Amino acid sequence: MKQKVSLLFYILSGIAGIIVFLVLGVLIGNYIVMPLVTRQYAETEVPSVIGLYFEEAKEKLKDKGLGAVCHEEIPDPEKPKGVVISQKPKPGAIVKKGRIVFLTVSKGRERIRVPYLLGLRLEQAMKIAESRGFRVARVDSVMTDTIEEGRVIAMKPTPEIYVLPKTPIILTVSTMDTSATMVMPVLEGVDFEKAKEILRDDSLVLGSVREIEVEGQGGIVIIQTPKPGAKIKKGDTVHLIVGKER
């Protein structure tokens, strides 16, 4: 009799264990496994995050069960740095939850380096400035007797700094003071080649050169016009008569 009771106890215990196992299986499947499976394959609509800062965009996408990565940063003249310019998938697309959304983010307005234009002729400086995306807004001039006329001697902005494209540039070029008078240097008795150097250094223009036969004075300036000591201006023309051996 005791053996029958023990056998019945074991049978009932086994049946109870099976029932508990089945109940636990249903509960785990219903409340743990199925939500995970459902969540994995659930769909959601991609919200628009264009115009938001990157961190704000990440939070908005996270609320929809989506991830976000910064796929690319590019310059943008309109959008501040860190603002989302575009997204993929596009707003309104239906995707699975957990999908990564790739965001293109603004680097802000691009800046470019100001070219070094000092010492260049005005025409060359303007061509270089415009080819680099700048606009020459104004050209000023300063009188000088030490720098060749038409050379850039100052500029704003300062060369080599970084500024926004199409930033206006102001150039200052050298110009000769043609109103100022000077004393005509002595060229008579000077070697012709040396006389040409003197004229060039004093910003004077060599005019006609005539040769006359003068024994022992070959290659020497015999007569000059204007005469030594005369009042002249830079840019005036000087005519010479030079000796030639017989």
Write down the pLDDT at residue 234: 82
Q: What is the pLDDT of residue 99?
A: 95
**Residues pairing with 224 in the sheet:** 240
Within this chain, domains 43-106 and 181-244 share the same CATH topology:
yes
Going from N- to C-terminal start, the domains of the chain cover: 43-106, 112-175, 181-244
H or E segment at 155? strand 152-156
Closest by Cα among 100, 95, 93, 90 to 41? 95
Decide: pTM greater than 0.85.
Answer: no
Matching CATH number, 181-244, of 3.40.50.620, 3.30.420.40, 3.30.10.20, 3.30.390.30? 3.30.10.20
Q: Which CATH architecture does the domain made up of 43-106 adopt?
A: 2-Layer Sandwich (3.30)
Cα–Cα distance for residue pair 62/55, rounded to 1 Å: 11
Tokens standing for 58? 């990440």
| CA–CA distance, 101 with 115 (Å, rounded to integer) | 40
pLDDT value of residue 37: 47
Mean pLDDT per segment of 10 residues, for the chain of length 246 residues?
A: 55 64 54 49 91 95 94 87 94 95 91 93 94 90 80 93 90 79 91 94 90 90 93 88 90
**How much is the pLDDT for 35?**
47
**What confidence score (pLDDT) does residue 165 get?**
83
> Which residues have a Cβ under 8 Å from the Cβ of 146 and sit 6 or more positions away?
none
